[in-house]
Amino acid sequence: MPLLHQFVPHHGLHEALEGARAAEHGSGHGTGGSSALHGGGAAGPTFRPGKTVDHAANGFHPTEMLRDFDWGKTRRLASGRVLREWTLLAGDKEIEVAPGVHYPAWAYNGRVPGPTLRAREGDLLRVRFVNGSEHPHTIHFHGLHPAEMDGVPGVGAGLIDRGGETTYEFIAEPFGLHLYHCHAGPLAEHIARGLYGAFVVDPKQGRPDADELVMVMNGFNTNFDAEGNQTYAVNTVAFHYVNEPVAVERRSPVRIYLANLLEFDPLNSFHIHANFFDYYPTGTRLEPSEFTDTIVQAQAQRGILELEFPYVGDYMFHAHKTEFAELGWMGFFRVGGDRERQRQPAAFHDPVRDEGESA
Amino acid sequence: MEARTEAAPAIARAPTWVLVAVPLALIAAAIGLIAALGGPGLDERRGPPVEELAVERTVLRPGEIQLSVRNTGPDAVEVAQVAVNDAYVAFAADPDGDVGRLSEQKLTLEYPWQEGGAYTISMLTSTGATIEHIIDVAVETPDTGIGFYGLMTLLGTYVGVIPVILGMLFMPALRRVSEDWVRLFMAVTVGLLGFLVIDGSLEGLEIGGEASGAFGGPELLFLGAALAYLALTAVDRRLKRGVERRRAKGEGAYRLSLMVAIGIGLHNLGEGLAIGSAYAVGSVALGAFFVIGFALHNTTEGFAIVAPLARAGRPGFIRLLALGLIAGAPAILGAVIGAGAYNQELATFLIGVGVGAIVQVIGQLLPSIRDREGQALHPLSIAGLIAGGAILYATSLLVSV
């Protein structure tokens, strides 16, 4: 902005925008701080100042989603195997994907992406699927399982009509970062509308402790022209992590479960500023394939990123397909010292692993 | 009559104004009732809302783009976010919120555009629909100050007033030639004007087709043309009566000449509009070639004005100058309007006015190309008509705005 001031007269606009920004600050929105003012003109892309997404109306919050792992209803069977049970309900729901922009989504459990299901390799998983939507749906899991549990039309339970239900049951394998999504036709629309989520299978021995984050790269073709998307994001709300940076701790391990569910565009990418990460494609090997700051994923590709931040401060991350970045897929990490350590929500901890066997 | 009066004595006795007022009141009441009840028995429209916005004016200033948008659809539209070339931008909306049917909103976008760049502005509405507006070539919008209007006046003078007056310099030569040559020149004039009618109609239809539609499109051309034709016919009748009363020698020729000047003046209003707006959006480079092209083109218009005076008495200088100004000066007004407050609907209408005026003038000139047998189409006049059309066609190639 100082440069703009120096060279270019633009007073009328400035007053209009500053007024809106002042209103935004006054509302106490987000984490505040300098990044709430990020963007505008040469300072980069941004949404209209003073307008925010109503997360309460959406029923989910991208910041909370980051560390929200759902281990299911868990018990150990007589055989010694751990059983995890979930119920996923498909429904039709209008969500706000950018300030003031509403999208008629189809969602699992009322959120896009759906809940991050987490298990350990070898666990028995039982996913009850209830279709409360107007349209037929399925859940198709990536992983190893018999054909009748594959959640595609015409095989096993096939399409589940409105009001119907089925239960998908299989063993969690292999370990890694996987996905689940609806496989009803037209497939592109059923995915684009929001019926997808991350599915984390930990290795038997677990992974080293880290601040774990789930990032599902997605976008919304709000005008339904099936030619690209109008908004791009991580975890649905465009530019959310610009307004509310992801708080992490300096010199502390961070693990990102990154998946690409973007429809209509062939590739997506992830780039972090001033840092490098170990990349584990699909998370199915314990040795990283690459030490880099940029990776590319086609749809349904996913991987695990492990990194530490050596310095405090705000670090941008975004798609290095800059078009996506400027249409909303952009955010910041806010690296704090020890005092600002992020408390891990209870959901992070595997109840079986941490509390021993339960009934 | 007698029988009907007995059948409906009350109606027969009522004053006429009551017979008008009662149906009017009933119509108003019925429409009011339907509106108040929301059209009983009729469902809402099927499907999602129809969201339409037309960009009526684009202003480019350093670091910002201003759009004046008008809702031309049936439903309210709220612009939630705006992207320029696939990047979301900060913007202010005045007034904020929904844009109702036919209402206007001014959007001020913060964007570091570059001169000469092409920009696609995508307005994302609250329902996720996208409305696009394309800036083909970004050029800073000129400030509409005194200097700017001075420039437009100069431009209008160059392309309107000066060429028309130069064309009138053929006057002395015209006065010497024979009857046949006069007929030929009149035919040339009709040919020139005929080409202007076709050219103007096509341009008006094209511009009207690009209009937002909120206030009509191509039909404005016909509306303008009909209005001008009828108004000029009324003016002409007036002038004729004046001429007959005075019985002055050559007055008939002056009347004809004045009518031609008025018709051409209205045409030049539309032409000035096109030039001014093209300059304002940076789609035309002013320069010697541009001005020379228009000068050649419009010189023929000056010839058309003086052609009817070939057999009139010696005309006064002031009178000729006045005719020249009537024909040429509207180009100045057109340029100012075009650069300062251009919109497609106004342009279509004004071009239509020019077309209608010239059609009327052609009707006036036709008798003067008839030969001694009263034929309008004889070898000489046909040659003239073709020559007139060809001259204007050729000179119009020099000036494509």
Q: Taking CB atoms and an 8 Å limit, are A47 and B61 in contact across chains?
A: no
> Between A and B, how many CB-CB pairs are < 8 A?
103
Give the pLDDT band of residue A236 (cuts 50, 70, 90): very high
Rounded Cα distance between A70 and A119, Å, is 9
Say if residues B141 and B286 touch (Cβ distance below 8 Å): no
Give the pLDDT band of residue A32 (cuts 50, 70, 90): very low
Rounded Cα distance between B234 and B232, Å, is 5
**What pLDDT does residue A82 have?**
97
Could you give the dihedral angle defined by the CA atoms of residues B316, B321, B324 and B329, in that order, rounded to the nearest 10 degrees? -160
Q: B28 vs A188, B3, B58, B73, CA distance in Å?
A: 52, 32, 40, 25
Rounded Cα distance between A93 and A112, Å, is 10
How are beta strands A101-108 and A330-336 bridged, if at all? unpaired
The owner of tokens 């952009």 is: A330
Could you give the dihedral angle defined by the CA atoms of residues B326, B329, B330 and B335, in that order, rounded to the nearest 10 degrees? 170
Looking at the domain assignment, is residue A158 inside a domain?
Answer: yes
- Name the residue in chain A with its Cα closest to that of B65: A13
3-state SS class at B88: strand
Backbone angles phi, psi at A268, to 5 degrees: -135, 165
To the nearest whole percent, how much of chain B has pLDDT over 90? 29
The DSSP annotation for A292-328 comes to ESEEEEETT-EEEEEE--SS-EEEEEE-SSHHHHHTT
- The model carries a pTM of 0.77
Q: Higher model confidence: residue A329 or residue B4?
A: A329
Give the pLDDT band of residue B43 (cuts 50, 70, 90): low
Q: Taking CB atoms and an 8 Å limit, are A42 and B112 in contact across chains?
A: yes
pLDDT at A340 over 50: no
Give the pLDDT band of residue A5 (cuts 50, 70, 90): very low
DSSP alpha helix (H) spans, B38-115: none
Helix (H) or strand (E) holding B296: helix B288-306
Q: Taking CB atoms and an 8 Å limit, are B88 and A51 in contact across chains?
A: no
How are beta strands A254-260 and B79-84 bridged, if at all? unpaired
Rounded Cα distance between B333 and B156, Å, is 7
**What pLDDT does residue A338 have?**
62
Q: Taking CB atoms and an 8 Å limit, are B92 and A4 in contact across chains?
A: no
| B345: nearest Cα among B221, B238, B254 | B221
Say if residues A328 and B88 touch (Cβ distance below 8 Å): yes
How many structural domains compose chain A? 1
Looking at the domain assignment, is residue A258 inside a domain?
Answer: no
pLDDT at A255 over 60: yes
Round the average pLDDT of chain A to a whole number and report it.
Answer: 88
**What average pLDDT score do residues A58-64 get?**
97
The DSSP annotation for B244-266 comes to HHHT-TTHHHHHHHHHHHHHHHH
3-state SS class at B161: helix
Q: Taking CB atoms and an 8 Å limit, are A100 and B86 in contact across chains?
A: no
**What pLDDT does residue B307 have?**
83
- Of the candidates B61, B80, B122, which has its C-beta nearest A98's C-beta? B80
Best residue in A38, A103, A222 to probe B by mutation, most B CBs within 10 Å? Answer: A222
Q: Which residues of B touch A100 (CB under 8 A)?
A: 78, 80-81, 126
Q: Higher model confidence: residue B305 or residue A114?
A: A114
pLDDT at A18 over 60: no
**What pLDDT does residue A35 have?**
39
Give the pLDDT band of residue B326 (cuts 50, 70, 90): very high
pLDDT at A107 over 60: yes
pLDDT at B394 over 90: no
Sequence letter at residue A307: L
**What pLDDT does residue B241 have?**
80
Q: Is B48 on the interface with A (CB under 8 A)?
A: no
**What pLDDT does residue B351 have?**
85
pLDDT at A359 over 50: no
Q: Taking CB atoms and an 8 Å limit, are B92 and A10 in contact across chains?
A: no
Q: Higher model confidence: residue A140 or residue B46?
A: A140
- Of the candidates A99, A220, A326, which has its C-beta nearest B86's C-beta? A326
Q: Taking CB atoms and an 8 Å limit, are B82 and A48 in contact across chains?
A: yes
**Residues spanned by the domain of A65:** 60-202
Q: Which pair of structure tokens corresponds to residue A266?
A: 């062939």
Distance from CA of B62 to the nearest CA of A (A): 6
Rounded Cα distance between B381 and B185, Å, is 8
Q: Taking CB atoms and an 8 Å limit, are A8 and B63 in contact across chains?
A: yes
Q: What share of chain A is helix, strand, coil (3-state, %, to 5)?
A: 20, 35, 45
Q: Which residues of A touch B (CB under 8 A)?
A: 4, 7-10, 12-13, 16-17, 20, 39-42, 45-49, 51, 97-103, 220, 222-224, 230-231, 238-239, 323, 326-328
Sequence letter at residue B392: L
Say if residues A38 and A44 touch (Cβ distance below 8 Å): yes
Q: Taking CB atoms and an 8 Å limit, are A238 and B82 in contact across chains?
A: no
- Of the candidates B61, B87, B128, which has its C-beta nearest A230's C-beta? B128
Give the pLDDT band of residue B135 (cuts 50, 70, 90): very high
Q: Is B243 on the interface with A (CB under 8 A)?
A: no
Question: What CATH number does residue A71 fall under?
Answer: 2.60.40.420
Which of A47-61, A214-228, A315-329, B152-166 comes out lowest in average pLDDT? B152-166
Q: Which residues of A touch B112 (CB under 8 A)?
A: 4, 41-42
Say if residues A156 and A148 touch (Cβ distance below 8 Å): yes
Per-residue pLDDT tens for A258-316? Answer: 999 999 999 999 999 999 999 999 999 999 999 999 999 999 999 999 999 999 999 99
- Of the candidates A9, A40, A222, which has its C-beta nearest B62's C-beta? A9
Looking at the domain assignment, is residue A87 inside a domain?
Answer: yes
Distance from CA of B160 to the nearest CA of A (A): 36
Per-residue pLDDT tens for B114-127? Answer: 999 999 999 999 99
Q: Taking CB atoms and an 8 Å limit, are A48 and B83 in contact across chains?
A: no
Q: Is B83 on the interface with A (CB under 8 A)?
A: yes
**What pLDDT does residue B285 have?**
61
DSSP state of B77: B
pLDDT at A47 over 50: yes
- Domain B53-135: CATH superfamily is PCu(A)C copper chaperone (2.60.40.1890)
Looking at the domain assignment, is residue A332 inside a domain?
Answer: no
Q: Which pair of structure tokens corresponds to residue B270?
A: 């539309």
Q: Taking CB atoms and an 8 Å limit, are A16 and B127 in contact across chains?
A: no
**What pLDDT does residue A25 have?**
41
Say if residues A202 and A119 touch (Cβ distance below 8 Å): yes
Q: Which residues of B touch A239 (CB under 8 A)?
A: 88
Best residue in A24, A47, A237 to probe B by mutation, most B CBs within 10 Å? Answer: A47
Give the pLDDT band of residue B7 (cuts 50, 70, 90): low
**What pLDDT does residue A358 have?**
42
Q: B345 vs A119, A242, A251, B75, B157, CA distance in Å?
A: 66, 44, 65, 22, 25
**What pLDDT does residue A7 have?**
41
Distance from CA of A221 to the nearest CA of B (A): 8
Per-residue pLDDT tens for B263-279? Answer: 889 888 888 887 787 77
Looking at the domain assignment, is residue A352 inside a domain?
Answer: no
**What pLDDT does residue A131 have?**
98
Q: Is B89 on the interface with A (CB under 8 A)?
A: yes
Per-residue pLDDT tens for A319-335? Answer: 999 999 999 999 999 99
Burial class (CB in 10 A: 0-12, 13-18, 19+), A193: buried
Give the pLDDT band of residue B395 (cuts 50, 70, 90): confident
pLDDT at A149 over 90: yes
Looking at the domain assignment, is residue A10 inside a domain?
Answer: no
Sequence letter at residue A170: F
**What pLDDT does residue A350 have?**
55
Give the pLDDT band of residue B35 (cuts 50, 70, 90): confident
**What pLDDT does residue A197 have?**
98
The dihedral built from the CA positions of residue A96, A102, A108 and A109, taken in this order, carries a sign that is positive
Looking at the domain assignment, is residue A359 inside a domain?
Answer: no
Burial class (CB in 10 A: 0-12, 13-18, 19+), A266: exposed
Q: Higher model confidence: residue A329 or residue A347?
A: A329
Q: Higher model confidence: residue A85 or residue A24?
A: A85
Best residue in B89, B114, B132 to probe A by mutation, most A CBs within 10 Å? Answer: B89
DSSP state of A128: E
Q: B230 vs B227, B355, B359, CA distance in Å?
A: 5, 12, 11
How are beta strands A82-98 and A73-76 bridged, if at all? antiparallel
**What average pLDDT score do residues A216-242 get?**
96
Q: Taking CB atoms and an 8 Å limit, are A17 and B87 in contact across chains?
A: no
Per-residue pLDDT tens for B173-189? Answer: 888 888 888 888 888 88
Radius of gyration of chain B (CA): 27
Q: B318 vs A43, B298, B336, CA distance in Å?
A: 63, 21, 26
Distance from CA of A123 to the nearest CA of B (A): 42
Beta bridge partners of B111: none
The owner of tokens 């204007």 is: B392
Q: Taking CB atoms and an 8 Å limit, are A99 and B128 in contact across chains?
A: no
Buried b or exposed e, range B216-254, using 16+ CB within 10 angstroms: bbbebbbbbbeebbebbeeebeebeeebeeeeeebbbbb
**What average pLDDT score do residues B251-266 get?**
86
Q: Which residues of B touch A47 (CB under 8 A)?
A: 81, 88, 90
| B395: nearest Cα among B254, B261, B268, B300 | B300
**What pLDDT does residue B44 have?**
66
Which of A221-230, B297-306, B345-354 comes out lowest in average pLDDT? B297-306
Q: Taking CB atoms and an 8 Å limit, are A327 and B61 in contact across chains?
A: no
- Name the residue in chain B with its Cα closest to that of A14: B110
Which of B223-237, B308-322, B345-359 comes out lowest in average pLDDT? B308-322
Looking at the domain assignment, is residue A95 inside a domain?
Answer: yes
Helix (H) or strand (E) holding B95: none
Scanning B117-156 for CB atoms below 8 A from A yields: 122, 124-130
Distance from CA of B68 to the nearest CA of A (A): 15
Backbone angles phi, psi at A291, to 5 degrees: -115, 110
To the nearest whole percent, how much of chain B has pLDDT over 70? 91
**What average pLDDT score do residues A66-93 get?**
97
**What pLDDT does residue B358 have?**
85
pLDDT at A36 over 50: no
The owner of tokens 């006054």 is: A26
- Domains of chain B, residue spans: 2-37, 53-135, 146-396
**What pLDDT does residue B111 have?**
95
